Amino acid sequence: MEQVVLVDENDNQIGVEEKIKAHENGGKLHRAFSIFVFNSKGELLLQQRASVKYHFSNLWSNTCCGHPRPEESLNSAVHRRLREEFGFDTELKENGSLIYNANFTNGLTEREFDHSFIGIFNGEPEPNPEEIGDYKWICIEELKKDIKENSEKYTPWFKMFVSRINFEKELKLLID
């Protein structure tokens, strides 16, 4: 059974919980991460979550996301998950965090302390069909416009990160 790391509002570990149980009864705050991978043209790699996902299936989201396992460092977890979902790895830089709550349509609740990571990759991704239904590269300007017009197509955490992080600035720092 997959477990997540429970944390307080300062991201201090306070326990471990079975993943599904951490999402029941209003959710327990747990550590997570979201990865944003760009190409050298400044386009962000998006994934459409697979239809078999138990929450937010078929919605568009950031490149990759997940949870570190108990006793696994955040840095190890982000690289593991990127390889599991997209079949590649790249250098990643942490660039912020947020706490968010989101209710699933099935009665569960996502309550995460979500760390954001950014990186660059110019190869061809190899998406895992159990995780990813589709993918595309998109420029930030076009993405922000589509989120305004079609908000329901995107995951809650992704919309929060897009509204809070200056990806153009972060990307410039990575490329320069």
Catalytic residue status for 65: yes
Question: Which residue out of 18, 64, 65, 72 is catalytically annotated?
Answer: 65
| Catalytic pick among 112, 130, 139, 170 | 112
Percentage of the chain with pLDDT > 90?
68
CB atoms within 10 A of CB 171: 20
User: How many residues are there in the chain?
Assistant: 176
In the predicted model, is pLDDT for residue 175 greater than 70?
Answer: no
CA gap 23, 45 in Å, rounded: 27
Mean pLDDT of the chain: 90
Q: Which residues of 48-64 are buried (b: 16+ CB within 10 A; e: fewer)?
A: bbbeeeebbeebbbbbb
Tokens of 137: 């590269």
Mean pLDDT calculated for residue range 91-99: 91
Q: What is the DSSP string of 21-77?
A: HHTSTT---EEEEEEEEE-TTSEEEEEEEPTT-SSSTT-EE-SEEE-PPTT--HHHH
Of the candidate ranges 34-48, 57-71, 87-101, 159-173, the one whose mean pLDDT is the lowest: 159-173
Q: Which phi and psi angles does 37 have, rounded to 5°? A: -110, 130
Tens digits of per-residue pLDDT, 133-148? 999 999 999 999 999 9
User: Is 147 exposed, middle or buried (CB count within 10 Å of its CB: 0-12, 13-18, 19+)?
Assistant: middle
Asked whether residue 15 carries a pLDDT value surpassing 70, the answer given is yes
Judge whether 83 and 92 are in contact, CB under 8 Å. Answer: no
Q: Which domains does the chain have, with CATH numbers?
A: 3-175 (3.90.79.10)
**Is the pLDDT assigned to residue 121 strictly greater than 80?**
yes
66-84 pLDDT per residue, tens: 999 999 999 999 999 999 9
